[in-house]
Amino acid sequence: MTSRPTLRLGPVAIALLAFVAFGCAAVRNDELVIGEFGSLTTNDATFGISTQRGVEVALDELTAKKEGKIGGLKVRMVVEDDRGVADEAATVVQKLINQDRVIAVIGEVASSRSLAGGPICQQAGVPMISPSSTNPEVTKKGDFIFRMCFLDDFQGWVMAKFVAEDLKLKKVAVLKDVKSDYSVGLANYFTQAFQSMGGTVVLETSYSAGDADFRAALTSIKAKSPQAVIVPGYYTEAGQIARQARELGLKVPLVGGDGWESEKLIEIGGEAMNGCFYSNHWALDAPDPRLQDFLKAYREKFKGDPDAIGGLAYDAANVLFQSIDQLAAQDPKAFAGLSSSKAGTDERKAADRKLRDLIAATAQYPGVTGIITLDANRDASKPAVIIEIKDGKKIFRTSIAPQSKPA
């Protein structure tokens, strides 16, 4: 048998073939690709999982109503795990934009990771909607960045108002996570508001995300005899802090922000969480029919209750779907440019800008986490609720509207 001659390609030819093969695989004119990124595997993994699930419920509804299509094109989600690391968040957002060619991005929950991914979306001109990053700096990264939640300056004020007026406390200690933009910012906003209301912060101390032993800080806090401890961090550490505080005989309430919102909070903290409070975006027992319909769909699909992070992600996905649908109806040429052009091209820039403008115009959208109107800074102005933990259950305590916050 005679052998066939071997075809040898130089490195340039190989690179060109690889580029062509990749390009053919990546370019799809018959679908709309949307990216979502979050932490799926680390300490705050329930945030990323909840976000993914909320988006999935929205997609299920789109499938039921429109066969999963907008403007005749199939909607496909690409989900990336950033492992709870800001640098990894930047990496996966680059991948979503440059490799998957997404037309929009949903994420992140943690403000530090939204602050890492946001500038990349802004530079590429790809709209990004954070469901639940509350740090005010997030949307300041550019006019393509949006959010579905209230801001930490409002949330810090809500926490302070509740502690000062509802609990009628005058002296508190603050225990914050120095590695978290969210925790540091929320601690600052709380302190400013609480002091303006006549309250005193007797001690501010800190820990770092991932710590497991908080006894030294809690012992220092106990020595100052505060009436409450403000813990503006995430649920994993909050549960551990509550346990260790009770072990040390520190029985005063712990008060947190929406970073506590997870099914794992009470699982980690156990009975030590009873008598604690946190600000949040919703309460599951609210009678809103939109919320109850979402809860029914979520429970049927995932066999459990969602947290507010999942609700915010559901709202973010639906606001995005609504905006894309409006673009398809109002400007078919721009809509076609979303799926057929790579980010950065003139055609795609024009389409991205029009989609951005439609998202920015969102007003009185009936979300499951409240009525959503985006302001000039692309932030949602919404009420906050206070959740009380009692007998191992999360119970609605009160609601505080943004209109009551002084300018």
Task: Indicate the domain borders of the chain.
Answer: 11-150+289-374, 152-280+385-404
In this structure, whether the domain defined by 11-150+289-374 belongs to CATH 3.40.50.1100 is answered with no
- The alpha carbons of the chain give a radius of gyration, in whole angstroms, of 23
What percent of the chain shows pLDDT beyond 70? 91
Judge whether 385 and 399 are in contact, CB under 8 Å: yes
What distance in Å separates the CA atoms of residue 338 and residue 321, rounded to the nearest whole number? 13
Q: What is the three-class DSSP state of 17? A: helix
pLDDT in tens, 233-282: 999 999 999 999 999 999 999 999 999 999 899 999 999 999 999 999 99
Q: How confident is the model at residue 9 (pLDDT cuts 50, 70, 90)?
A: very low
Q: In the structure, what pLDDT confidence band is assigned to residue 15 with cuts at 50, 70 and 90? A: very low
Query: Tokens representing 157?
Result: 């004020």
C-alpha span between 241 and 259 (Å, rounded): 14
Cβ-Cβ contacts under 8 Å for 216 (sequence gap 6 or more): none
Do the Cβ atoms of 316 and 105 come closer than 8 Å? no
- Do domains 11-150+289-374 and 152-280+385-404 share one topology? The answer is yes
Domain 152-280+385-404 has CATH 1.10.275.10: no
Of the pLDDT bands very low, low, confident and very high (cuts 50, 70, 90), residue 104 is: very high
- Portion of the chain with pLDDT greater than 90, in percent: 82
- Looking at residue 103, what DSSP letter applies? S
Q: How many CB atoms lie within 10 A of CB 20?
A: 10
At 286 the pLDDT is 80
Q: What is the DSSP string of 378-394?
A: S-B---EEEEEEETTEE
More confident residue, 68 or 405: 68
CA angle 369, 373, 374 (to 5 degrees): 110
